[in-house]
Amino acid sequence: MEDFHIDFAVLLTAATLLTGIGWALNKWVLAPRRAAGVPPNALVDFCQSFFPVIAAVLLLRSFVAEPFRIPSGSMIPTLLVGDFILVNKFAYGLRDPAFHTKFFANGAPARGDIVVFRYPRDPRQDYIKRIIGLPGDQIVYKDKRLTINGQAMAQEPDGAFPVQGPHSAGVVYRLQEDLGGVHHHVLVDPDRPTDDFEFTVPAGQYFAMGDNRDGSSDSRVWGTVPERNLVGKAFFIWMSWDSVRTRVDFSRIGTVIK
């Protein structure tokens, strides 16, 4: 019960239950008793019309794929502000949409997965980060480089990335990182101090970081992600809105997220 809160998923579940009751009541009780040619009242008609639609939306959103919008720059350069993504809700098992209780197990996050999860400090908020540490992993972050279980994650320079903000001279370095076989880009800002740390990931928890290493509030700040907070795996960009140029960025539409 402590994780229960009123959000869209809860409201959608309630709407499905209420309209479903009305639909079933009409089908098996009211309709057989109604005189031929007499239409149902407005409430019954509403339930008949909208129950199948609401139920379909609930099933797709809860158990297949759910859309999200990227609101911040913590995952730059992989994901940009204004990207609209799809999240695979089946990747890490199925949960009921209201209480988030897992009823079907189906795999677990792998190192390098980009995951949407309920923010541990406020489960009403959804966060997206890359999984860096699995349960039991020893994570060391020093001089803006990762070492996992004693193995340094290789980084190769890959140009610069222009940014705007108070903590940068207008450019940061883009690096290609090999995260145990998962190759992806990260940003590091040479003007920002390194918050070095060493940490062992507890059982049932995951260590998550943003690809924008010096511009992300992540497990380095608020701790690990409990398994029960997982929502799904990000896999596809279906729309991207460039707020600077105020136009759709067609070059990003259809991108598979890695």
Please report which helix (H) or strand (E) contains residue 138, including its range: strand 138-142
- Looking at residues 155-164, what average pLDDT do you find? 84
SS3 71: coil
Give catalytic residue positions: 74, 129
Q: What is the DSSP letter of 212?
A: B
Structure tokens at 65: 């794929």
By percentage, how much of the chain surpasses pLDDT 70?
A: 95
Report yes or no on whether pTM surpasses 0.85: yes
Per-residue pLDDT tens digits for 173-228: 999 999 999 999 999 998 888 889 999 999 999 999 999 999 999 999 999 999 99
3 band by pLDDT with thresholds 50, 70 and 90: very low
Q: Given pLDDT bands bounded at 50, 70 and 90, which one contains residue 250?
A: very high
Assign 170 a pLDDT band (cuts: 50, 70, 90).
low
With 0-12 CB in 10 A as exposed, 13-18 as middle and 19+ as buried, what is 227? middle
Structure tokens at 258: 């890695």
What pLDDT score was predicted for residue 169? 53
Positive or negative: CA dihedral 231, 233, 234, 236: negative
Please give the average per-residue pLDDT across 40-49, as a whole number: 92
At residue 257, does pLDDT exceed 80? yes
Mean pLDDT of the chain: 91
Residue 164: the pLDDT is 56
pLDDT beyond 70 at 166? no
Q: Place 141 in a pLDDT band, splitting at 50, 70 and 90.
A: very high
pLDDT tens string 68-100 = 999 999 999 999 999 999 999 999 999 998 888
Answer yes or no: is pLDDT of 5 > 50. no
pLDDT one-digit tens code per residue, 228-242: 999 999 999 999 998
DSSP string, 125-140: SEEEEEEEE-TT-EEE
pLDDT of residue 4 exceeding 70, the answer is no
